[in-house]
Amino acid sequence: MKKIVISTGGGDAPGLNAVIYAVVHSCYRRGWEVYGSRSGYKGLLNLDELMRLTLEDVEEIYATGGTILGSTNKGNPFSTPVENLAGEIQIVDISDKIMKNFTRMGFDCHIAIGGDGSLEIAHRFALKGMPVVGVPKTIDNDLEATDRTFGFDTAVSTATEALDKLHSTAKSHDRVMVVEVMGRDSGWIALYSGISGGADVILIPEIPFDMDEVCKKITDNELHGKDYAIVVVAEGASVKGGTVINKGDGELGREEVILGGVGEWVASEIRKRINKDTRSLVLGHLQRGGSPTNFDRLLALRFGAAAVRLIADGIFGQMVALSASSMIPVPLIDAIKSRKKVDLNSDKVLTAREIGICLGDCQDFFEKQEDNGKQ
Ligand code: F6P
């Protein structure tokens, strides 16, 4: 008989509930108990926020978005902002209290479902002696050591559907539509949805862009009778020599700045430079919502079941990962050491270039290719 506690941390992603479903079912078959910690580590900090999870609690949740446990991206127990008596904010480490509660509750393992931030916290608890298994989540798909995170496929589907819809309105008005999608450090969502959604330009954090190239692509469209264009830009993309546009820190306890604004910036530059009717929109949290796609459901269910198998085998400090088509354990430290970037030599990037999509550096790229060919 084992007692497991599960938490969901960071920004939510479609598929979180499917992982919880698989964990509860896999544990139930083994006669183990599962508890859920509400809002990240809140349940381990304040035991009233722990909930026992039964089969009834998780009935049919595999198909739903969000997380029944709630989530937060402001809850790092190793650096928590607390107001002191003088009204000043102090950063304190409350991880020992969580360790004590974990032991007091008699838990055997913590399953931490999260992106790089949450898994780093899980790794620090593992170093303090907590048996931990990680499950990789993020719509951004930017975690090293796993081929895919769940949530990404759903986000790409949502963004692709939006692009499909924007084509007709862009065409009707001879307009440029600039669509800002999520992707802080890597351009996976922009690249996948942009290629599949017929974008003319895709701007990603991995390639600092040149507005001359972006505008040239739009005016080149007109040479062959296409008077409209679709530009997809990842929130973390930046102009060559510029910085990532953000909205500041925003919230107390949040470790990352809030990104946003690059889409409108690109739109205003297009208007200014080529006097083209241009509109921008931000897809934002639409990409995080809704029911997970079949791909994400299956992946999330497989991750949840694989996490429980690791616990059964007594393997901790690892994250379950998708490698080729298998579930494998990888050390948590490998999962968090760097962000997974789009490989600029991958066939997806080459496909984008070959089918005429501008990645913000088109001219440079093809000139370089020609020069290499001449040498
Ligand atoms: O990490 C996933 C992500 O969706 C990022 O792409 C985005 O910058 C961030 O979350 C937004 O988080 P929040 O929920 O705090 O707005």
Co-location of 280 and 296 in the same domain: no
Co-location of 263 and 238 in the same domain: yes
Q: Are strands 3-8 and 318-323 parallel, antiparallel or unpaired?
A: unpaired
Contact in structure between 280 and 250 (CB atoms under 8 Å): no
Q: What is the residue range of 63's domain?
A: 3-150+292-323
Looking at 254-336, list the stretches that DSSP marks H as alpha helix, in order from N- to C-terminal side.
Answer: 262-274, 294-312, 332-336
Distance 202 CA to ligand 1 centre (A): 20
Co-location of 88 and 135 in the same domain: yes
Report how far residue 146's alpha carbon sits from residue 13's, in angstroms, rounded to the nearest whole number. Answer: 16
Q: What would the pLDDT profile of 246-305 be if each residue is shown by its tens digit?
A: 998 767 777 789 999 999 999 999 999 999 999 999 999 999 999 999 999 999 999 999
Co-location of 10 and 139 in the same domain: yes
Co-location of 133 and 165 in the same domain: no
Decide if 337 is inside a domain.
no
Contacts (Cβ under 8 Å, ≥6 apart) of 247: 257, 258, 259, 260, 261
Which residue's CA is the nearest one to ligand 1's atom 14?
11
**What is the count of structural domains for the chain?**
2
What's phi and psi for 173, nearest 5 deg?
A: -105, 5
Co-location of 62 and 146 in the same domain: yes
Decide if 299 is inside a domain.
yes
Ligand 1 close to Cβ of residue 141 (< 6 A): no
**Residue where the block lists tokens 């609690």:** 57
Co-location of 49 and 138 in the same domain: yes
Report how far residue 231's alpha carbon sits from residue 237's, in angstroms, rounded to the nearest whole number. Answer: 12
Ligand 1 close to Cβ of residue 14 (< 6 A): no
Co-location of 9 and 69 in the same domain: yes
Q: Are strands 326-331 and 318-323 parallel, antiparallel or unpaired?
A: antiparallel
Which residue's CA is the nearest one to ligand 1's atom 12?
11
Decide if 281 is inside a domain.
yes
Co-location of 108 and 249 in the same domain: no
Decide if 82 is inside a domain.
yes
Ligand 1 close to Cβ of residue 140 (< 6 A): yes
Question: What number of H helices and E strands is found in the chain?
Answer: 12, 13
Co-location of 225 and 300 in the same domain: no
Ligand 1 close to Cβ of residue 138 (< 6 A): yes
Q: What would the pLDDT profile of 318-368 be if each residue is shown by its tens digit?
A: 999 999 999 999 999 999 999 999 999 999 999 999 999 999 996 556 666
The tens place of each residue's pLDDT in the chain, 375 residues long, gives 999 999 999 999 999 999 999 999 999 999 999 999 999 999 999 999 999 999 999 999 999 999 999 999 887 999 998 888 888 999 999 999 999 999 999 999 999 999 999 999 999 999 999 999 999 999 999 999 999 999 999 999 999 999 999 999 999 999 999 999 999 999 999 999 999 999 999 999 999 999 999 999 999 999 999 999 999 999 999 999 999 999 987 677 777 899 999 999 999 999 999 999 999 999 999 999 999 999 999 999 999 999 999 999 999 999 999 999 999 999 999 999 999 999 999 999 999 999 999 999 965 566 666 666 665
Tally of residues, the chain: 375
Decide if 217 is inside a domain.
yes
Decide if 315 is inside a domain.
yes
Ligand 1 close to Cβ of residue 361 (< 6 A): no
Beta bridge partners of 264: none
Catalytic-labelled residue, pool 12, 116, 140, 361: 140
- Residue 139's domain is classified under what CATH number? 3.40.50.450
**Residue where the block lists tokens 């969000």:** 66
Co-location of 140 and 39 in the same domain: yes
Decide if 336 is inside a domain.
no
Decide if 330 is inside a domain.
no
- Whether 140 is catalytic is yes
Co-location of 246 and 300 in the same domain: no
**Residue where the block lists tokens 């949450």:** 118
DSSP string of 168-188, one letter each residue: HHHHHHT-EEEEEE--SS--H
Q: Which of 1, 14, 67 minimizes the C-alpha distance to 286?
A: 14
- Residue 272's domain is classified under what CATH number? 3.40.50.460
Ligand 1 close to Cβ of residue 189 (< 6 A): no
Q: Which of 239, 192, 207 minimizes the C-alpha distance to 362?
A: 207
Looking at 208-326, list the stretches that DSSP marks H as alpha helix, in order from N- to C-terminal side.
Answer: 211-223, 262-274, 294-312
Distance 11 CA to ligand 1 centre (A): 6
Q: How many CB atoms lie within 10 A of CB 141?
A: 27
For ligand 1, what atom is nearest to the CA of residue 288? Answer: 4
